[in-house]
Chain A
Amino acid sequence: MTRKVPVVENIFKANDQLAQANRNLLDQTRTFAINFMASPGAGKTSVILRTIEALKDKYRLAGIDGDLASTLDADRIAATGIPAVQINTGGTCHLDAVMVQNALPKIDLPNIDVFIIENVGNLICPANFALGVHINVLVASVPEGDDKPYKYPTMYRGVQALLLNKVDLLPYFDFDLDYFRKGVEALNPGLAFFPVSAKTGEGFGEWFAWLQGQIDAFLQTANG
């Protein structure tokens, strides 16, 4: 006799549970974790390098890199002088909570304030895999086009901050900033938004100020 058993469980649950375990560990060690996501070449590494330079005198930083676009990215991050770990993604298209869990013991978390993750360059898969970080950041870029929020809604809905990189290229592309922002606003109302250029440094002041606000608020509650 065959019978039907109701299940109704979200398939992402196993990953979500591990992500929560990562989060608990990070909270315990008072480490603020940031996950940078983007399509390949949008400028994750460039944005991360500038962010590290701006933060490294104020906080104790560490980074991990899972981007496949270039095996050099972890080296570029290590060159800033902060501890950096390359995650072996085995060629997959996203980082998941297990990979982060395996990487965490390689980092001296109790002595790290801010932990920076460069996800694999991809706008689809990383959106489904929570890592347990405190903020997810999406780096969009002008050459990708202004329709990306409409095409990758899951990604745009799941982040706490959005950087639009390569604004130095705006004069050369038919990029309708208003159309782009409307799409973002529809998917993620009130999302913190920073137009920047990792090439010229334009716009980074606002991003650093916002990020420091988030980090300080976390470190304060974690200490209190």
Chain B
Amino acid sequence: MWRWGSGMSISQHSGPPKVSLIYDPKVRSIAYQVILCAIIIFLAYSAVRNAIDNLARAHIASGFGFWNQTAGFDISQTLISYTAQGGTYGRAFWIGLLNTLLVAAIGIVLATIVGFLVGIARLSKNFLLARLSAGYVEMIRNVPLLLQLLFWYNAVLKALPDLRDSWSLPGSIYLNNRGFFAPYPIFSSGTELVVAAFVVGVIGALAFGIWARKRQEQTGQQSPVALVSLGLIVGLPIIAFFAAGMPATLEFPEKGRFNIRGGLEILPELVALVIGLTLYTGAFIAEVVRAGIMAVSKGQTEAAGALGLRTGPTLKLVVIPQAMRVIIPPLTNQYLNLTKNSSLAVFVGYPDLVQIFTGTVLNQTGQAVEVVTITMAVYLTISLLTSMTMNWYNSRIALVER
């Protein structure tokens, strides 16, 4: 290698020239960050102190002591056990959180299905289908969600009969304006085997899927993945269930003087909320999907056609995978919106986190600052987790692009 000068090589000072520390960009940026952090910590600390002082001066209770106090109110839907006399505000919080996660999860799955179907239908060559889809999207997007929720709640309640005229099916299945009721299995010991079988089934199905993909890549031969997976995931647990001697009894709903008790119970509030959120978010997802598909160049479809692929496989194998890259980021947004919008639950009487916690608990304890802080932290966490999952998925499919 050619060197500058003779004996005096600058490679001795290969780092940046030695200057005073304040001019060292590295030291500087670290110093800035330390100072910034210190300021933020100081501000946060004094904000909290100030809040505590102010609340004390106004004689408003503060702190988290309320968490373990008896709640004393009833909740209509509890995924974990809860009673008004035994339940605490803390327990009520978890119930609200689970109820929020439940509608969000159901809503996200259903809205995705609706969104993809409608988004694809809107691009369909079938004029009627395309117009209908467009009409649905336009109508839903232009009416405030709250109105839609109230509409669905009243529609659900109006459409369903009174308790005395319940629609019923043999086997103690009832539908009326108090909800949907059906027998529900109560599991006893031996159920572990069924759960284990299910886990094995899922792992087996995944393994088979990977094997089938490899085989197709190598030999071009397709395997009945869907059928085998179904067999493994559903079939195995069923076999295990019988092998374990059927460790479950059914709890049947029973008609009382006013209500139906026992068994599975799905409240009309949940149904109305899910319908409302699904249709609303579904319309937005449909647009996202349509945009994603339109972003895939027409040449791709034509090339697939030239290779002899039919419309279905073209969509599934060529268009959608490429469209996904465009779809995922705005889709994440829609998922976050749906979760946040589920806080309108209180208007249709569904006990979500906001209804139970920032509603009843806040009001009964009066501890607005604590309750609101916790609630914001929860929504932030849910949002961050959703984004993280979607980003991970996004980076995975983005790899395909190279």
A binds B: no
- Please give the residue numbers on chain A whose beta carbons come within 8 Å of chain B beta carbons, in ascending order: none
Listed in ascending order, the chain B residues whose CB lies under 8 Å from chain A are: none
